[in-house]
Amino acid sequence: MTRQHIVEAALVLADGEVFEGEAIGAEPEGGVATGEVVFNTVLSGYQEVITDPSYAGQIITFTVAHIGNYGVSRDDHESRRPFCRGIVVRDLARRRSSWRSSDDLDGLLRANGVPGIAGIDTRRLTRHLRDAGAMPGAFGTADASTLAAAAAAEPGTEGIDLVSEVTCDAPTVISSTGGARRIVAYDFGIKATILEHLSGLGEVTVVPAYTPADDVLAMQPDGVFLSNGPGDPGPLSDIRSIIAALLGEVPIFGICLGHQLLAGTLGAETFKLPFGHHGGNHPVRNLATGRVEITSQNHNYCVAEGSIPSAQLTHVNLNDQTVEGIRCRDVPAFSVQYHPEAGPGPHDSRYLFAEFEDMMAAVVGPAGGRG
């Protein structure tokens, strides 16, 4: 570790709860970092979580006690940089132990301007968020009254377009690593591991979130992918209009926010979960096979069951019975709320990429059949 001395810090939630700790990572401007405080239950994969763009606007609390044990590796980044507002941990490892690591976690945070706080009683914090719900908070080295005022002023994620913050600026082509398909992937905050799986099906053109449907159809894709991303799907009406123009024209597969946007395009209602689903151990039942899959999840919003007459419910969360997957009845499109690509895991749901290939084959014929 590069830290030479302990700097006292505190976390204050919008409801007034205070947690004392020590500053790690980058120094926030004015000694204050704000965001919506959520908790994640993964036992490993902290680098993948921190670099997942879906955490834009949020402060991540890790429930596992020891974080940073195996350092960080550039190969494990899920995006060009972290978009989260900060991290909260119980114990930050003082020594990294993996031969793959190129830096320690504190170094990653500092290099990317991400503040953090350690020494927090994350069990108490998690229990509080579980009971009171995810809420705005502020942490840093400023005094408690300053942090409390900042927490009260933090708007959270509801009603805010966070996709514009994380999407790419221009199209990028990812070469095929195995297949002959042409796929267009909308970047709402797309993860690198998703692109690895899609490139196994063919060449992938990643486009900015607000790319018009006509521009995408002009590329003559075999399929369109709707990616994961941060925040509330509510304000993203322009994206839903784009998806509406694509439905029925080309096979569509959506994950996480992409699932919510596809469902919203079909008329579904969405609502905010009390504390969201963030972790790598959520059981989901595939209703077609009866098989239970252990899944990785990261979302605060959910599709309301029964609000899409034109779609079939395909997957359900066994913890709270919420919607985890849909398939359209009249057009070639399906989506799931969870992450079948899941780096580092679990890998129970990776078959969904093969189902996307099957859908494209059924609609547009053998790979390379277009154009």
Q: Is 42 contained in some domain?
A: yes
Examine the domain organization and report whether 228 and 88 are in the same domain: no
List the alpha helices (DSSP H) in the chain: 46-50, 105-111, 122-132, 144-153, 163-166, 192-199, 213-217, 237-246, 257-265, 351-364
Examine the domain organization and report whether 268 and 137 are in the same domain: no
Rounded distance between C-alpha atoms, residue 225 and residue 186, angstroms: 6
Q: Where does a domain end: 122, 153, 184?
A: 153
What is the pLDDT, as a whole number, of residue 5?
A: 76
Examine the domain organization and report whether 316 and 168 are in the same domain: yes
Q: Which domain range does residue 287 map to?
A: 163-364
Examine the domain organization and report whether 351 and 271 are in the same domain: yes
Show which residues are catalytic: 256, 339, 341
Rounded distance between C-alpha atoms, residue 371 and residue 365, angstroms: 12
By the 8 A CB rule, do 208 and 188 touch?
Answer: no
Examine the domain organization and report whether 128 and 208 are in the same domain: no
Residue 214 exposed, middle or buried by CB count within 10 Å (0-12, 13-18, 19+): exposed
Examine the domain organization and report whether 79 and 116 are in the same domain: yes
Q: Where does a domain end: 125, 153, 181?
A: 153
pTM over 0.85: yes
- Could you please report the per-residue DSSP string of 282-321? EEEEETTT--EEEEEEEEEEEEPTT--TTEEEEEEETTT-
Rounded distance between C-alpha atoms, residue 361 and residue 11, angstroms: 52
Buried b (16+ CB within 10 A) or exposed e, 226-247: bbbbbbbbbebeebbebbeebb
**C-alpha 165: how far from chain center:** 14
Examine the domain organization and report whether 272 and 293 are in the same domain: yes
Q: What CATH number is given to the structural domain containing 136?
A: 3.50.30.20
Q: Is 48 contained in some domain?
A: yes
Q: Where does a domain end: 153, 186, 220?
A: 153
Q: What CATH number is given to the structural domain containing 342?
A: 3.40.50.880
- Could you please report the per-residue DSSP string of 13-37? ETTS-EEEEEEEESPPGGG-EEEEE
- Domain tally for the chain? 2
Examine the domain organization and report whether 40 and 92 are in the same domain: yes
Examine the domain organization and report whether 147 and 12 are in the same domain: yes
Examine the domain organization and report whether 284 and 347 are in the same domain: yes
Report CA torsion sign: 130, 121, 60, 336. negative
Q: Is 158 contained in some domain?
A: no
- DSSP 8-state assignment for residue 219: T
Examine the domain organization and report whether 239 and 107 are in the same domain: no
What is the pLDDT, as a whole number, of residue 6?
A: 87
What is the pLDDT, as a whole number, of residue 94?
A: 87
Q: Is 142 contained in some domain?
A: yes
What is the pLDDT, as a whole number, of residue 368?
A: 61
Rounded distance between C-alpha atoms, residue 15 and residue 159, angstroms: 20
Low-confidence ranges of the chain (pLDDT < 70): 1-4, 368-371
Examine the domain organization and report whether 180 and 245 are in the same domain: yes
List residues bridging with 336 in a β-sheet: 255, 325
What is the pLDDT, as a whole number, of residue 4?
A: 56
Q: Is 2 contained in some domain?
A: no
What is the pLDDT, as a whole number, of residue 371?
A: 43
Q: Is 371 contained in some domain?
A: no
Q: Is 147 contained in some domain?
A: yes
Q: Is 370 contained in some domain?
A: no
